[in-house]
Chain A
Amino acid sequence: MEIFLLTEKCIWFGLGAAGFAVLFNVPSKTLIYIAFMGALGGFLKVTLMHFYETNVIISTLCGATLIGFLSVYFAHKTHSPPPVLAIPACIPMIPGKFAYKMVLGLVNLSGDIDHSTYTQVMSETVNNGLKVVFILMSIAGGVGIPLLISRKESSKGMRFRKRK
């Protein structure tokens, strides 16, 4: 049953990625690959969080790294640069819920001070805000990892297997 729920989330991750791909006007033949990459990356993130109880930041980093490697692989197939594939695929992982809570918290903090709850609101807001920042950093870092560890300027010459 849990597997069913996770697979359902996978579809939503893919659909979200495809929606943003259309908004960013990607070449039409890459759409299906972007949806696929978004679904796989989201699946890895959700699985790590659910079964291994990993921190949300680390699991996002893993999902984004998977998307980064897949983007290099599909870039050869579709003749598009990897960021074009990777950026829309990562967007569903952006922590909208935490960002929303952070904004609400900031509004509360800027209002009148109520000494009994102020410390609690403060700590929750800082917690949510830091999560947003670190998740964003891990998304960008994860997408960049393939180019960083291969020490190449372009993914054009990158192959997963050596050519004969």
Chain B
Amino acid sequence: MIAPSPKNKEVKDLGNVLLNVGAMLLSSGASTGRTRNTISRISDSFGYSSDLLISHRTIMLTISDKRNDYFFNNLKRSPPHGVNFKLLSGISRLSWQVVEEGLTVNQINDQLSRLAALKHYPRWFTLLFVGLAGISFCRLSDGDAVDMVTVFIATVCGLFIRQEVLKLKFNPYICIYCGAFTASLIAGGGLKYGMGFIHEQAFATSVLFLIPGVPLINSFSDMIDGNLNNAIVRGLNGFIISFAIGMGLLTSMLIYRF
């Protein structure tokens, strides 16, 4: 049995921290290139070379020192994806702090747990702003005031239902389907029984708050970087989300017989 040496412990701790950083980045909506850059930036500053295999939700990491005396090799699965740019920008700042100020592994761990505990915006604030975004989309596709009010109500209700279903730990695509169905049901009711005051734009833009912007844009930026495998997986994820939105719309259309 090999006696544990301080160097051995260091490489293990650093490896675990790097895997944590990578998993947090992947789940909060970073592209593959960004994850790879951040991890190798931190490990380079400690004087270790790193090799990575990154898939949609898993990271495989090997770090070793220059003479290959000490190495660490492990896999980590990231938590389910949920976009959180506060975490992403915090980790990016942290990685530069490590390079410039030479933080120790323990300090990085403290910073990471501080970042993970950062609060989201209050729920009413999110609902209000996403409702306003829905209004904007409706106005941009030439809706008038009555349409805008309808879309606001539909968007707020849809997002509320989606958050509630998400809390019940359903499959993420089902959550999106429920959100799309609720929003289009409200807007479609307006279209059907609104006596001509509510137009088709309201129905079309009521589900736009669900569009998978981050998966699709990340998919294309991965494609440009050359991480084709991840690009295809992310693109497919975005496609299934769009499909779930489409199914929600279709269900309402079936109910109202448009």
Name which residue of chain B comes closest to A81, CB basis: B92
Q: Which of B11-19, B72-80, B214-222 contacts A (4 or more CB under 8 A)?
A: B214-222
Nearest Cβ in chain A — how far from B226, in angstroms? 12
What is the number of residues of chain A that contact chain B, defined by CB distance less than 8 Å? 47
Q: Report Cα–Cα, A75/B163, bound state, in Å.
A: 30
CB-contacts of B7-38 with A (<8 A): 29-31, 33-34, 37
B48 interfacial contact with A, CB 8 Å: no
User: Which residues of A, 110-163, contact B by the 8 Å Cβ criterion?
Assistant: 136-137, 139-141, 143-144, 148, 153-154, 156
Q: Report A-chain residues with C-beta under 8 Å of the C-beta of B224.
A: 140-141, 144, 148
Does B89 touch A at the CB level, under 8 Å? Answer: yes
Q: Would B216 and A140 count as touching, CB distance under 8 A?
A: yes
Question: A103 near B: Cβ within 8 Å?
Answer: yes
| A27 to B96 Cα, complex, angstroms | 17
Given contacts A24-B83, A25-B84, A25-B120, contact A12 B136 (CB under 8 A): yes
Bound: A153/B137 CA distance, A: 34
Q: For chain B, residues 119 to 138, give those with C-beta under 8 angstroms from any C-beta of chain A.
A: 120-121, 125-126, 129-137
Say if the beta carbon of B85 comes within 8 Å of chain A: yes
| 0 or 1 for each of A70-83: is its CB under 8 Å from B? (1 = yes) | 00000000011101
Q: Which B residues touch A143, using CB under 8 A? A: 217, 221
B92 touches A80 (CB 8 A): yes
Q: Which residues of B contact A63 (CB under 8 A)?
A: none
Q: A100-B204, A136-B220, A141-B220 are in contact. Are A84 and B133 (CB under 8 A)?
A: no
State A137–B235 Cα separation when bound (angstroms). 12
Bound Cα distance from A19 to B121, whole angstroms: 12
Establish whether residues B220 and A22, one from each chain, have CB atoms under 8 Å apart when the complex forms. Answer: no
Q: Across the interface, which residues of B come within 8 angstroms of A154, CB to CB?
A: 37
Q: Which residues of A contact B34 (CB under 8 A)?
A: 81, 83
- With A and B bound together, what is the CA distance between A105 and B110 in angstroms? 53
Q: Interface residue count for B (Cβ, 8 Å)?
A: 52
- Report chain A residues within 8 Å CB of B201: 97
Given that A13-B140, A96-B211, A153-B37 are contacting pairs, would A22 and B130 also be in contact in the complex, using a CB cutoff of 8 Å?
yes
Question: Are B85 and A18 in contact, CB atoms less than 8 angstroms apart?
Answer: no
B133→A20 contact, CB < 8 A? yes
A90 at the interface (CB under 8 A from B): yes
B205 contacts which chain A residues (CB < 8 A)? 96-97, 100
A41 interfacial contact with B, CB 8 Å: no
Q: In the complex the two chains form, is B84's CB within 8 Å of A23's CB? A: no
Question: How long is the Cα–Cα vector from A88 to B133 in the complex, in angstroms?
Answer: 11
Interface residues of B in 141-157 (CB under 8 A from A): 141
Q: Is A1 an interface residue (CB 8 A)?
A: no
Chain A at the B interface: SS class? helix
Contacts of A26 in B (CB 8 A): 85-86, 89
- Whether A23 pairs with B204 at a CB distance below 8 angstroms is no
For the complex, give the distance between the alpha carbons of A143 and B134 in Å.
23
CB closest chain-B residue, reference A34: B85
B140 contacts which of A80, A81, A92 (Cβ < 8 Å)? A92
Q: Which residues of A contact B (CB under 8 A)?
A: 9, 12-13, 15-28, 30, 79-81, 83-84, 87-88, 90-92, 94, 96-97, 99-100, 103, 106-107, 136-137, 139-141, 143-144, 148, 153-154, 156
Q: List 25 A-B contacts (CB under 8 A).
A: A13-B136, A13-B140, A15-B136, A16-B133, A18-B132, A24-B85, A25-B86, A25-B120, A25-B121, A27-B90, A79-B89, A79-B93, A81-B88, A83-B30, A83-B34, A83-B217, A83-B221, A84-B89, A91-B211, A94-B211, A94-B213, A96-B204, A140-B217, A144-B221, A156-B96
Which 8 pairs, one residue from A and one from B, show the smallest C-beta to C-beta distance?
A19-B133, A140-B220, A16-B136, A80-B89, A22-B129, A12-B136, A100-B204, A96-B208
